[in-house]
Structure 1
């Protein structure tokens, strides 16, 4: 614990001759008074002949509380019991009376806290909306939303304060491949082109490159309750590939509360993060390098965002829906961006604000100009927004499996069959009228009832290695006729491991061959080591695969998500392996 705290707070600052004396405490040790008390607490054992110091014990106990979701009251009772049970004169922290509140105050001195943004702002500066749900209540006022912001700069500095991580932070400058092999974003063309455009930034290997991921989730785990909380997480791409995507390397920067997602107003909540990123890019921050025992000016940049298709619309301002694909000239894009610049950055009553938010025809699908364009380098980035492959894989898998099993996720609907009639194609699949009813002829891409049972039994009997995935067999219903409740990772395993085997014996060769080829394409794309040559060859391959599927499945099958598969090889060449994005 002594080494950890010493690294976290840069305890070796006093050994540097360039130390800023204005930041020193009265003892000239470069450590603030609150933290000095923590260092003193480390010198005392919990009780005589105990292997734990009082601070060690408190840190481990709070960690266990968080993992096991203990209540605050149960934690308070445990501290009181331990204080009574341990030998007299013990130092069960915090000082009596021990409580979770006092424990948090003690650990807060390490400096890992957050800010409640606009906690002193009573009204919105744009629409004059009150911060409170009911500002005239006599009881405790309740805010509409409380944004929690975790500053980025101190946590980036601590990656260099620590002797355990500072050497890993310059791995990207020595681990780059030159032979077309891609194992890290540093091997992608986006990183290389940025280095060529901004040589002053790339010349210092300790400058930090970040990736941003954002998505909504239901904190209550109840899908019947439409609640969406949005965490915004950063990861550091300076680290080697075996570290940059570990959970311990993720940094939660924003926690946007529900019950509704921010939608196109996500930029309002990103404001404190973007302001800090602008500061880190333009001026940097003086940081201690524990390995070299020197100071340097650390700068940082945002390399790209990682998101699913709906979240991409919120981040970029491009809806991506509402019409067929088309090419825009630079003048058209600038014209489309012009009007969103003057829209209010929050949801206000149109009549009260006197501003209409409806798009004109010339605006097409642009709903706003993204706040990321305030970053000086953003417009020059080759790859700004990454599609999350797991979400693409899940949606494509839902369509394939749902259409094969003919469940509620099937794309083979009555309207899809009616489209075939309008297009005058595949007459054998047109709706057949029988009296006052219509029925659908059985298609070659769906299982018959006996085959459906065989496929579901195959999935039910699958046994996966511990930690490899969830028990997919539990997702098969009792009648062995449907598979429900699969998550993103379940579809990841299903598409790459199980579906190629399951469909081979129940569908015709002309149908299962392109399905297997699609699954193998996704498996190749998810490899930790890629080749530029292979990815360039994969682009025409996936086009051929989708053309084969278009001959088999109805046009309704090919929505925007299926189309996104075409762009994945290009993204891999530009950004590196998908496991890093």
Structure 2
């Protein structure tokens, strides 16, 4: 099939219009039982799923993604032959839908780099480009991800990790280099390490990312549309507190996609050694819109904060919770625009903190109440 139209023509040209219709026919032929397919327009980059007519409309207005040369998301193999899509891909091949979950990572990256499209384009290129000419097992980005997993899993220092990168670089064929993500430089440890370190993982892009998947967007309305309502208590949505919130905040309850969250935190020693004076406090958000079988699944439990230092945060934990509280206030008071891939529409997403889950000492820190002693 001639694909020169992708690079030689643009929306509105007769050659381009013929080309995109040939693409739609090819994609529908290999769609299997799927009704929605990845959209390869320049804006969607195969990360948003749409109906064939919507894809045709997008491609008629926006240029076809020029980096998408092998139509692997629409049934084509690396050899250029087509096969009926089943929604699964080779775990070790260039599609990487398995253990390292590159596709999910790229979807999150797209949300994070909306204001810097050049960075995302470079990452997208590394995501699709083989590590070297003829390599079918790894892409440039997948090998970096595996190397970083190796570094984290075995506690490698930055200097030893850099040595590994240099070794791999020497082993690669000439004219092939690792992506810029791998350029880790040696550094000297600076004096005056802060007493505590805070990592915040912004929650708003993650919530928007959840709704960008049609299956997840459908599951997030389970509490309203899929729950068995017979008066028995099986889920938080059956509780008096849930009904009280529905009655008090009508506008919030009217939109069934609005999120009700639980916040859970506690301290731990990551080194597993009681003689080591160190404390790490993860702060996790749980989404109660989901059915009971999914609420506590790792995929839907969102790590939002990590507070790390030689001592626990104690009653000062509110200082470290500030960035999370700011985003929660935004989601409660104004909301954010999000795309629902299940209903194929934009909507105003809001969220509220439904409850907290912790032991009594952590409850005392979070609430400011005295829970022990006199």
Q: Give me the TM-score of the superposition, normalised by structure 1.
A: 0.42
Does the CA contact (< 8 Å) of 1:201 and 1:207 recur in 2?
A: yes
1:8 Cα deviation from its structure 2 partner: 10
1:249 equivalent in alignment to 2:334: no
Counterparts of residues 105-504 of structure 1 (less than 5 Å): 140-322=191-373
Q: Return 5+ residue gaps in structure 1 as ranges.
A: 19-29, 103-138, 324-581
Q: How far 1:180 moved relative to its partner?
A: 3.7
Q: Are 1:45 and 2:96 matched, yes or no?
A: no
Aligned equivalent of 1:35: 120
Q: Deviations over 1:481-504 (max 9, x none)?
A: xxxxxxxxxxxxxxxxxxxxxxxx
Aligned with 1:92 (options 178, 185, 202): 178
Aligned partner (choices 151, 160, 165) of residue 74 of structure 1:
160
Shift of 1:222: 1.7
Kept in 2, the 8 Å contact 1:288–1:295? The answer is: yes
Match of 2:149 in 1: 63
Q: How many residues align?
A: 271
Distance 1:251 1:206, change over 3 A: same
Structure 1 residue 140 displacement after superposition: 4.2
Query: 1:171 touches 1:239 (CA, 8 Å); kept in 2?
Result: yes
- The answer to whether the 8 A contact 1:210-1:302 is kept is yes
Q: Which residue of 2 aligns with 1:452?
A: none
Hey, what's the Cα distance between the residues in 2 that align with 1:62 and 1:322? 46
Name the CA distance, whole Å, in 2 between partners of 1:212 and 1:90. Answer: 46
CA shift at 1:41, angstroms? 2.6
Contact 1:7–1:158 (CA under 8 A) maintained in structure 2 = no
Deviation for aligned residue 1:277: 1.0
Give the match's secondary structure for 2:217: coil
The alpha carbon displacement at 1:101 in A equals 5.7
* Larger Rg, first or second structure (1 or 2): 1
What runs of 5+ residues in structure 2 fail to find an aligned partner?
A: 1-37, 59-113
Higher helix content, 1 or 2: 1
- Quote the offset at 1:15 in angstroms: 6.9
For residue 87 of structure 2, what is the aligned residue in structure 1? none
- CA 1:218 to 1:43, structure 2 compared with 1: closer, same or farther past 3 Å? closer
1:273 Cα deviation from its structure 2 partner = 1.6
Check 1:101–1:176 CA distance in 2 against 1; reply closer, same or farther (3 A cut).
Answer: farther
Question: Does the 8 A contact of 1:7 with 1:163 survive in 2?
Answer: no
After superposition, the Cα gap between the structure-2 partners of 1:184 and 1:93, relative to the gap in structure 1 and judged at 3 Å, is same
